[in-house]
Amino acid sequence: MPSFLVFESEKVRYAIPAERVDSIFWMPELSPIMAAPPWFIGFVNWHGAVVHVMDLGLRFNNPPRSYQTTTNIILVSTPQMRFGLVADLVMGLVEVPTEEVIQRDMVIPSDFRSAYSDLVEGEIKQGDAIVLLLSLSKLLTVEVGLEIEDHSGSSEYHPVAIFAENHEQLFRERMHQLAMPIVDHQDESKVGFALVTIGSIRYAIEIAYITEFTHLKQCVALPCCPHYILGVINLRGDVLSVIDMTALLGIQNIADKQDIVVLQLREKRMALAVQKVDDLRYFDPHLISPIQNLEEHHVRCKSLLRIDEGVAGILDIETILSGSLLEIDEHV
């Protein structure tokens, strides 16, 4: 049964064959490309290899947009070249029986031709949603006579200028990390963490508990809940409770909560609302140390992670997602 990676770009869901995906990483600072189609927004040094990065929105002739700290790049390999695809949200792998993949001829009339019609091979149904199956080879090809006109208004494209404001340093740090030699992340001596900011304080969450990241959009408040339960969200049909980490940790809420970290602990699935998701990184175990002098904002942490020139508290997910913390109080 074929397997596909499903992702979103500008609120449109796409799918590509899973065997073509080499890696997924956060958007770094990109170097500009001076002689390339306008949908290639720049290139990055991926562990010694030059990778051109494509924005599907621009490929379909949408206007340029800004990129956030939670924007992903999906590294794809094709017979023509290896390149990156910009994704706002990576939704995961799905297995689809061959007979359930609706081929292009059933989606687009055979006599219809445009600069975009060949970019879609077909459709996949995912619940109530329709996912467009991309043709990776056609994404890299412009047929003579069907060239796409560039409406950006400029022959030069500068991706650095459309990164999220005030995060230039983070994008630059990611660029330097990606340029480093590949580290075997399957090495049992390495431990993976997501680094997040909660009320201007940095914390770490073990990757083993994380299923995905998303943006905090509509959250519905619930009665009879502890003050640190922000409410519930509907994540593709699953209703998840959202923990307000600033309230749980007793941190002054000085910034809006923008991102969601979805966690899985055995049969329990929850979401943590944080100010922002900074990065995913792997660390040597010797950088993890016990908490000796307990500070107030480390009360829900089980240990400390030495990172850069400071430390990040490693959140005790087992304690947060189990026990009585999440029980509803009917007397509230």
- Verify that 150 and 220 share a domain, yes or no: no
In a domain, 291, yes or no: yes
In a domain, 269, yes or no: yes
**DSSP one-letter string for 113-131:** --TTGGGEEEEEEETTEEE
Query: pLDDT at residue 93 above 70?
Result: yes
Least confident stretch, 155-169, 180-194, 236-250, 305-319: 155-169
Q: Which of 277, 235, 261 is nearest to 321 (CA)?
A: 261
- Verify that 236 and 259 share a domain, yes or no: yes
For 231, the domain range is: 183-321
In a domain, 223, yes or no: yes
- Verify that 150 and 295 share a domain, yes or no: no
- Verify that 41 and 154 share a domain, yes or no: yes
Q: Which of 178, 181, 207 is nearest to 194 (CA)?
A: 207
- Verify that 85 and 226 share a domain, yes or no: no
The domain that holds 249 is classified in CATH as: 2.40.50.180
- Verify that 12 and 144 share a domain, yes or no: yes
Query: pLDDT at residue 126 above 70?
Result: yes
Query: pLDDT at residue 294 above 60?
Result: yes
- Verify that 189 and 91 share a domain, yes or no: no
Instruction: Determine the distance from the C-alpha atom of residue 229 to the mean position of all C-alpha atoms in its chain, rounded to a whole number.
Output: 24
Sign of the torsion angle spanned by Cα atoms 109, 112, 118, 119: negative
Query: pLDDT at residue 123 above 60?
Result: yes
In a domain, 327, yes or no: no
| Rounded Cα gap, residues 182 and 187, in angstroms | 12
Q: What is the number of structural domains in the chain?
A: 2
- Verify that 315 and 233 share a domain, yes or no: yes
Residue 279 burial (C-beta neighbours within 10 Å; 0-12, 13-18, 19+): middle
